[in-house]
Amino acid sequence: MDRQQQKQIVEALILASPEPVSAQRLAQIVPYLKPAKAKELVAELDGEYREQERAFEVWEVAGGYQIRTRPDFSGYLKALHAERPLRLSRAALETLSVIAYKQPATRAEVEHIRGVDVGATVKSLVDRKLLRIAGHREVPGRPMLYATTRRFLEVFGLAKLDDLPTLREIEELLPADSGVEIEADEDAPGVDAGAAASSEEASAGNAGATEPPHPASEAPAAAPAPSELH
């Protein structure tokens, strides 16, 4: 099997997969392909798409590869997909950010940082598959620990947790075409304004994407890793 045939199979696998496909997984499926070569073939594909000015490009997210449409076409894609986007309140985004950097974290630890009750918001984020239960803290009462999910990486266009920006930049990182909208809200003392968000529909899609922080063919230097990652 020659290189061109391998590249075609790699392209077909990434296109057909509903989730990001890792180089290791590609190597398991494509005959005579090693992970290092799989990465080379993906970079070649992305380079060809860009050179040919195709409507899509390769993103490296959640430890694997996805083919996503370019941001230029986001308006048309929104018209095509009429479903409501995933909406996150400002309070929900702040709660998600705290857990992303402090994970695994308990509800009480998040509330200590934010100064408001976050029970409803944490439940909403778990329901939307942006957070997961990661065990229990071995202290009296054994409170649940929360951590981010692979879907969190996909929604925010991150290849791995080490790519997290600073807390101030996390909202800017969210691709405008990710299907997520940030709602303006204000926290009343002791009340989590994100609670109301739990009734919103979770339908974020990956059809469109803005300029990726690390496209497969242009991997920049990794961002400084936070002390505690989600």
pLDDT digits (tens, 9 = 90+) for 139-161: 888 899 999 998 888 888 787 78
Residue 195 is predicted with a pLDDT of 38
d(CA 68, CA 180) in angstroms, rounded, equals: 16
- Is the bond into 104 cis (omega within 30 degrees of 0)? yes
d(CA 17, CA 65) in angstroms, rounded, equals: 10
Residue 154 is predicted with a pLDDT of 81
pLDDT in tens, 38-85: 999 999 999 999 999 999 999 988 889 999 888 888 778 777 766 566
CB 213 within 8 A of CB 173: yes
Mean pLDDT, range 109-135, rounded to an integer: 91
Residue 187 is predicted with a pLDDT of 44
| Domains of the chain by start residue, with CATH | 3-79 (1.10.10.10), 86-199 (1.10.10.10)
- Taking all residues of the chain, what is their mean pLDDT, rounded to a whole number? 76
Identify the three-state secondary structure at position 5: helix
Residue 209 is predicted with a pLDDT of 37
Residue 136 has pLDDT above 80, yes or no: yes
Residue 174 has pLDDT above 90, yes or no: no
Q: What percent of the chain has pLDDT over 70?
A: 69
Mean pLDDT, range 99-112, rounded to an integer: 90
Tokens of 55: 């409507």
Strand 144-148 relative to strand 105-106, pairing: antiparallel
Residue 179 is predicted with a pLDDT of 54
Type and span of the H or E element at 133? strand 131-136
pLDDT in tens, 19-46: 899 999 999 999 999 999 999 999 999 9
Residue 14 has pLDDT above 80, yes or no: yes
Residue 192 has pLDDT above 60, yes or no: no
Residue 56 has phi, psi (to 5 degrees) of: -140, 170
Tokens of 26: 């590609």
Model pTM score: 0.49
CB 43 within 8 A of CB 65: no
